[in-house]
């Protein structure tokens, strides 16, 4: 007896049903769709919003003020109508649409393992590039001469993406160096942020124009462009010949001159990358240059064939917001979650959201030594200072050691994890940098470099004062009131 199963029913005409008629068949009932899927515990959401956070969100809601304007109009109150309408317009165009990660990273990856940089590359979309030389520079008396030397050595191209380029000694000195290279036939392209460098000044512009440099502005502000005003180019990249790239916290202004010994000389760190990884910063510049000018950069002058120059693997995280999510924020979350022994943070504007506070608290709970060094009384932004101080209590109670740098404005942006991995870059520890700005962070897994940065951090710690919880709780009424007032624009900081 044959065991073959007939392919067609005898009650049909012998033809298979048409594919287009499958929709007529009964669908799998909704209650059975996920019946056989593996059961997984629901992950805990990071960052619980407190009552004041919810109130502040309502106060900042544009539609609330629009409703007030409509109600005032119907009531015949033209003054309130005008005021509420203006506030609604401003909030509508300046409220960021941020969609960061809200669930903890479930992993046992050790920072010293090979899996950590690979995971970091996979989650941020930024490759780990081998074959580089890397050098760290402290303060303007070290990094400005190194940057000028690189500019003067240029043979093919100079590109710069800069948040702050101001008139003054250092601004004019760099302008003259750029102009001299442009006159010799080397293309010099400068991309400046429309807010950070808006006070560049006529003397610098005349020098650049006379030399033949090209300059473009990233999102200059007009009344009709407020909808894009919250997204800024906060990068500070200088790239020479596509082979040497600098980045870090410093812009081109006189207050970075010196050795950070007094209030007139800011404390900062820059990093120089020589080798294939320099192309990553060049790529970030080229994409924003294309956006602002419509020009595509091509050829060996900007993108030379990569050649190894050292033995350091470098990951350059060029963070650009996409629907409110930036790679810089993802990088910080992964680093915080994977820390096992030490977590050292040096950052001037430390305004973590509820997610980051919970991540830091979890790190302390699992035995990680978390040390945070921030700008103290020498702070150039009152709003950022108030928002930062407001959160000290939560962080200290969670186990974080907070230190305020005393001699001058601390402006470096460094992150060190387990003395095995570190990052130097432009991103502040706030919502603006981690989700809204164009930022650059150079990460490395080199023990010698990490130890050097670790020693620098400890040396700065000696010039800092630890914040005591008892002293923080004794803040006066007006200090607390100022903090709550400043918190109304916390998301824009």
The predicted-structure confidence for 125-161, as pLDDT tens digits, reads as follows: 899 999 999 999 999 999 999 999 999 999 999 999 9
pLDDT exceeds cutoff 60 at 16: no
Query: Which range among 264-278, 348-362, 377-391, 477-491 shows the weakest confidence by mean pLDDT?
Result: 477-491
pLDDT exceeds cutoff 90 at 58: no
CATH number of the domain residue 211 falls in: 3.30.870.10
**What's the whole-number mean pLDDT along residues 413-430?**
94
Higher pLDDT, 93 or 5: 93
Examine the fold and report which residue of 60, 94, 128 is the final residue of a domain before the chain moves on. Answer: 94
- Note down the domain range covering 396: 115-492
pLDDT of residue 428: 92
Structural domain includes residue 403: yes
Q: How far is CA 170 from the centre of its chain?
A: 25
pLDDT band of 203, cuts 50, 70, 90: very high
pLDDT exceeds cutoff 60 at 443: yes
Residues 212 and 63 in one domain: no
The predicted-structure confidence for 474-490, as pLDDT tens digits, reads as follows: 999 999 998 888 887 76
Residue 453 has which token pair?
């940065």
Residues 62 and 204 in one domain: no
pLDDT of residue 269: 98
Examine the fold and report which residue of 27, 61, 94 is the final residue of a domain before the chain moves on. Answer: 94
Residues 276 and 389 in one domain: yes
The predicted-structure confidence for 270-314, as pLDDT tens digits, reads as follows: 999 999 999 999 999 999 999 999 999 999 999 999 999 999 999
Residues 67 and 141 in one domain: no
Structural domain count of the chain: 2
Percent of the chain residues topping a pLDDT of 70: 84
pLDDT exceeds cutoff 50 at 10: no
Percent of the chain residues topping a pLDDT of 90: 60
Examine the fold and report which residue of 64, 94, 124 is the final residue of a domain before the chain moves on. Answer: 94
DSSP 176-233: HHHHHHHHTT--EEEEEETTTTTT--HHHHHHHHHHT-EEEEES---GGGGGGTT--B
18, 214, 215, 436 from 293: Cα distances, Å: 53, 11, 10, 21
Q: Which of 426, 410, 339, 431 is nearest to 161 (CA)?
A: 426
Decide: 72 and 81 in contact? Cβ < 8 Å: yes
Residues 278 and 352 in one domain: yes
pLDDT exceeds cutoff 60 at 4: no
The predicted-structure confidence for 445-468, as pLDDT tens digits, reads as follows: 999 999 999 999 999 999 999 999
Q: How many CA atoms lie within 13 A of 427 on its CB side?
A: 33
323: left (phi over 0), alpha (psi -120 to 50) or beta: left
pLDDT of residue 230: 79
pLDDT exceeds cutoff 50 at 324: no
pLDDT of residue 211: 96
The predicted-structure confidence for 93-122, as pLDDT tens digits, reads as follows: 666 665 555 555 556 688 888 889 888 888
Structural domain includes residue 42: no
Structural domain includes residue 18: no
Residues 344 and 245 in one domain: yes
Strand stretches in 119-187, DSSP E: 128-138, 158-162
Mean of pLDDT over the chain: 87
Enter the pTM of the model.
Answer: 0.84
Higher pLDDT, 18 or 112: 112
pLDDT exceeds cutoff 60 at 28: yes
Quote the DSSP letter at residue 162: E
Query: Which secondary-structure segment (H or E) carries 149?
Result: helix 140-152
pLDDT of residue 11: 47
pLDDT of residue 9: 45
Structural domain includes residue 30: no
pLDDT of residue 22: 58
Structural domain includes residue 37: no
- Max distance between CA atoms of the chain, in angstroms, equals 100
pLDDT band of 42, cuts 50, 70, 90: low
Higher pLDDT, 328 or 250: 250
Structural domain includes residue 99: no
**What's the whole-number mean pLDDT along residues 351-359?**
87
Three-state DSSP class for 189? strand
The predicted-structure confidence for 206-242, as pLDDT tens digits, reads as follows: 999 999 999 999 988 876 666 667 788 999 999 999 9
Three-state DSSP class for 153? coil
Residues 242 and 339 in one domain: yes
Residues 412 and 465 in one domain: yes
Higher pLDDT, 232 or 186: 186
Residues 313 and 410 in one domain: yes
Decide: 453 and 413 in contact? Cβ < 8 Å: no
Q: How far is CA 307 from the centre of its chain?
A: 29
Residues 141 and 189 in one domain: yes
Residues 311 and 423 in one domain: yes
**What's the whole-number mean pLDDT along residues 250-271?**
96
Say how far apart CA 381 and CA 377 lie, in whole Å. 10
Residues 208 and 82 in one domain: no
Structural domain includes residue 295: yes
Structural domain includes residue 35: no
């Amino acid at each position: 007896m044959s065991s073959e199963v007939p392919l067609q029913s005898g009650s049909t005409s012998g033809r298979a049903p048409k594919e287009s008629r499958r929709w007529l068949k009964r669908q799998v009932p909704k209650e059975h769709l996920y019946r056989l899927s593996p059961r997984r515990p629901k992950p805990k959401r990071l960052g619980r919003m407190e009552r004041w956070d919810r109130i502040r969100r309502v106060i900042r809601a544009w539609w609330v003020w629009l409703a007030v304007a409509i109600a005032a109009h119907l009531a015949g109150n033209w003054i309130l109508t005008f005021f509420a309408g203006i506030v609604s317009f401003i909030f509508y165009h300046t409220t960021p649409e941020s969609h960061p990660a809200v669930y903890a990273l479930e992993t046992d990856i050790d920072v010293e393992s090979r899996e950590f940089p690979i995971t970091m590359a996979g989650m941020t979309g930024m490759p780990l590039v081998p074959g580089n030389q890397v050098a760290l520079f402290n303060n303007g008396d070290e990094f400005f001469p190194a940057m000028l030397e690189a500019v003067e050595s240029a043979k093919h191209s100079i590109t710069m993406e800069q948040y702050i380029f101001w008139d003054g000694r250092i601004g004019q000195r760099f302008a003259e160096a750029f102009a001299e290279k442009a006159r010799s036939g080397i293309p010099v392209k400068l991309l400046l942020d429309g807010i950070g460098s808006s006070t560049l000044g006529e003397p610098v512009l005349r020098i650049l124009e006379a030399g033949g440099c090209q300059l473009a502005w990233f999102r200059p502000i007009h009344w009709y462009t407020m909808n894009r005003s919250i997204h800024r180019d906060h990068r500070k990249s200088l790239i020479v010949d596509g082979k040497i790239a600098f980045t870090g916290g410093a812009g081109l202004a006189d207050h970075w001159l010196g050795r950070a010994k007094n209030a007139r000389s800011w404390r900062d760190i820059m990093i120089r990358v020589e080798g294939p990884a320099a192309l990553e910063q060049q790529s970030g510049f080229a994409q924003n240059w294309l956006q602002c000018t419509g020009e595509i950069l091509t050829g060996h002058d900007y993108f030379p064939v990569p050649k190894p120059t050292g033995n350091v693997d470098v990951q350059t995280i060029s963070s650009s917001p996409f629907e409110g999510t930036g790679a810089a924020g993802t990088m910080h979350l992964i680093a915080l979650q994977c820390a096992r022994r030490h977590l050292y943070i040096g950052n001037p504007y430390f305004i973590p959201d509820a997610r980051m506070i919970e991540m830091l608290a979890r790190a302390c709970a699992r035995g990680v030594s978390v040390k945070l060094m921030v700008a103290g009384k020498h702070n150039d932004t009152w709003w950022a200072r108030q928002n930062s101080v407001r959160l000290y209590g939560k962080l200290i109670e969670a186990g974080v050691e907070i230190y305020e740098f005393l001699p001058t404005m601390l402006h470096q942006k460094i992150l060190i994890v387990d003395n095995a991995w570190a990052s130097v870059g432009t991103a502040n520890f706030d919502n603006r940098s981690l989700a809204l700005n164009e930022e650059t962070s150079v990460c490395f897994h080199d023990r010698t470099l990490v130890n050097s940065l670790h020693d620098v951090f400890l040396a700065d710690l000696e010039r800092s004062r630890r914040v005591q919880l008892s002293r923080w709780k004794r803040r006066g009424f007006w200090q607390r009131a100022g903090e709550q007032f400043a918190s109304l624009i916390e998301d824009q900081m």
